[in-house]
Amino acid sequence: MSVLVLDRQGVPLMPCSQKRARLLLSRGRARVHRLVPFVIRLVDVKAEHCQLQPLSLKIDPGSKTTGMALVRAVRKINSETGEVSKGAVVLSLVEIAHRGRKISEALTARRQMRRRRRGNLRYRAPRFLNRGNKGKGRIAPSLQHRVDAILAWVKRLMRWAPIHAVAQELVRFDMQAMQTPGIEGVQYQQGTLAGYEIREFLLVKWGRKCAYCGAENVPLQIEHIQPKARGGGNRESNLTLACQCCNEKKAALPIDLFLAKKPEVLKRILVQAKRPLKDAAAVNTTRWALFNALKTTCLPVETSSGGRTKFNRQRNHIPKTHALDAVCVGEVDWVENWNMPTLHIKCTGRGSYQRTRLDKFGFTRGYLMREKSVHGFVTGDLVKATVTKGKKQGCYRGRVAIRATGSFNIQTAEGVVQGISHKHCTLLQRGDGYGYQQSSATQTREEVVLRTTRSASPA
């Protein structure tokens, strides 16, 4: 991928190749400004003496992973027909892994601990009058995190590259059509629960009997096929009926493990169960919030549909990844230099205010460190450790997890290395709430065409 370049005053210049960056550094004309993503700063050049080309940042938002691509817009004119074709030369590929699920679990745990303190410990008056207005247009914190993370990286890349425009895939999923293919007419307008309450709907759908043991004429409880603790939702497609005995036995077990000895029952239940639509709902909820957030950058924002992205990708025989989907957003007739490594960015957060560990009953079982820094290191810092002797002899590079004893753990590309003393560690880059990993280049165009041809040919 290209190396981002700044002038001596920190103004972004045109990115350069890795070979040119090595020459600038070896000749003393540049300094390392940042390691990941790699940014250099020139010491003898000002931006006013350089000619810049228009760069675009393209975004393919997703529920779990968002793809971003920094491209240079190029136009070609056909000498015979005079037609103008719009192309994109890829400079950098980035994929951001969101942590919306962890945020939701943390809020749930906090809510349960507060409820326990109010119910089991000393009496505290209810705080119904202490609930402020959340405001119009507010979305859940786990969804707002996706918008904030994307906007944060857009602003970062704007500081490191001369970006003149932003393109976003403004896709909307039709969840009812995804759940029931071929639905149309009045059924599409009314939906699946027209004329029913959810409990009555489930009673009719599951024959007023337990879905697991078939018990009838007993009190039935609403049961989640995919437990909420394992990512299941509250849609009617994930709900069934169970007696109290089966509900308590299943608890939070996966359904395939709970019905491992009853394959016929498992098959029957899975036939009625639908795939979860939480990811599609998250994209639908955040698409306009992200669009309004991107407009605050004062850059022209272009929107495009998911169908146009798929058409551009298939026409250029490009494999499907989140970052390469971002390359194909908008008006793109041809793409160059797309086969390059992708920088994977994982949202890890900056720590937690929680200072105790709890057991399964909600009681304290251990205490965490009160300080976030040990010997000048903070969890999440990028470090290089050189151990000259002993069992851990070697050179390690990765994110550090601090310990009060001064014996740290380092997360490397090969795995976690435990028990590295702080004396062997050298700080490379301060932690910024993200983890970085660079993947290898994607497969070539010929491999994609060959794979497509083989999948299309009859067996």
* Signed CA dihedral, 422, 424, 430, 433: sign only: negative
Residues 168, 98, 92, 441: is their CA dihedral positive or negative?
Answer: negative
Tell me the pairing of strands 55-60 and 163-169: parallel
Q: pLDDT-derived band of residue 174, with 50, 70 and 90 as boundaries?
A: low
Pick the residue with more confidence: 406 or 441?
Answer: 406
Domains and CATH numbers, the chain: 196-274 (1.10.30), 369-431 (2.30.30)
DSSP E strands in 301-439: the ranges are 301-304, 334-336, 343-347, 356-358, 364-367, 373-374, 377-378, 382-387, 394-401, 407-411, 416-421, 425-429, 434-438
pLDDT tens figures, 293-307:
999 999 999 999 888
Average pLDDT over residues 362-390: 89
The pLDDT value given to residue 362: 67
Packing angle, helices 278-295 and 141-160, rounded to 10: 40
pLDDT of residue 194: 62
Residue 61 has pLDDT above 70, yes or no: yes
Q: Which pairs with CB-CB distance under 8 Å and at least 24 residues apart come from 111-115?
A: 112/362, 113/358, 113/362
- pLDDT tens-digit readout, 402-440: 999 999 999 998 899 999 999 999 999 999 999 999 887
Number of Cβ within 10 Å of residue 302's Cβ equals: 16
* Contact of 409 with 400, CB cutoff 8 Å: yes
What is the model's pLDDT at position 18? Answer: 93
Report whether pLDDT(180) > 80.
no
Q: How many CB atoms lie within 10 A of CB 399?
A: 22
Confidence band for 177, pLDDT divided at 50, 70 and 90: low
Q: Residue 448 has what pLDDT?
A: 40
DSSP 110: H
pLDDT score at 369: 85
pLDDT bracket for residue 182 (50, 70, 90): low
Give the Cβ contact number of residue 198 at 10 Å.
12
Across 351-375, average pLDDT: 82
Residue carrying the six token digits 């410990």: 121
Minimum mean pLDDT among 27-41, 65-79, 263-277: which range?
263-277
| pLDDT score of 444 | 47
Higher-pLDDT residue of 73, 202: 73
> How much is the pLDDT for 340?
92
CA distance 161 to 261: 58
Give the pLDDT confidence score for residue 379 in this predicted structure. Answer: 92
Distance of CA 164 to the CA centre of its chain: 25
Determine contact, residues 63/279, Cβ cutoff 8 Å: yes
Q: What is the pLDDT of residue 226?
A: 87
Residue 442: pLDDT over 80? no
CA dihedral 375, 377, 378, 380 (to 10 degrees): -150
- In this structure, of 43-52, 167-176, 324-333, the range with the lowest mean pLDDT score is 167-176
Q: What is the distance between the alpha carbons of residues 63 and 39, in angstroms, rounded to a whole number?
A: 29
User: φ, ψ for residue 416 (rounded to 5)?
Assistant: -95, 130
Residue 188 pLDDT: 64
Q: What is the mean pLDDT of residues 177-202?
A: 65
Residues whose CB is less than 8 angstroms from the CB of residue 173 and which lie 6 or more positions away in sequence, other chains included = 277, 280, 281, 283, 284
Percent of the chain with pLDDT over 70: 85
Residue 341's Cβ-count burial label (10 Å; 0-12, 13-18, 19+) is middle
Partnered with residue 314 across adjacent β-strands are: none
> Average pLDDT of the chain?
85
Most confident of 62-71, 221-230, 251-260: 62-71
Distance CA 135, CA 379 (A): 35
- Under 8 Å between Cβ of 396 and 410: yes
Rounded alpha-carbon distances, angstroms, from residue 430 to 373, 403, 434: 12, 17, 10
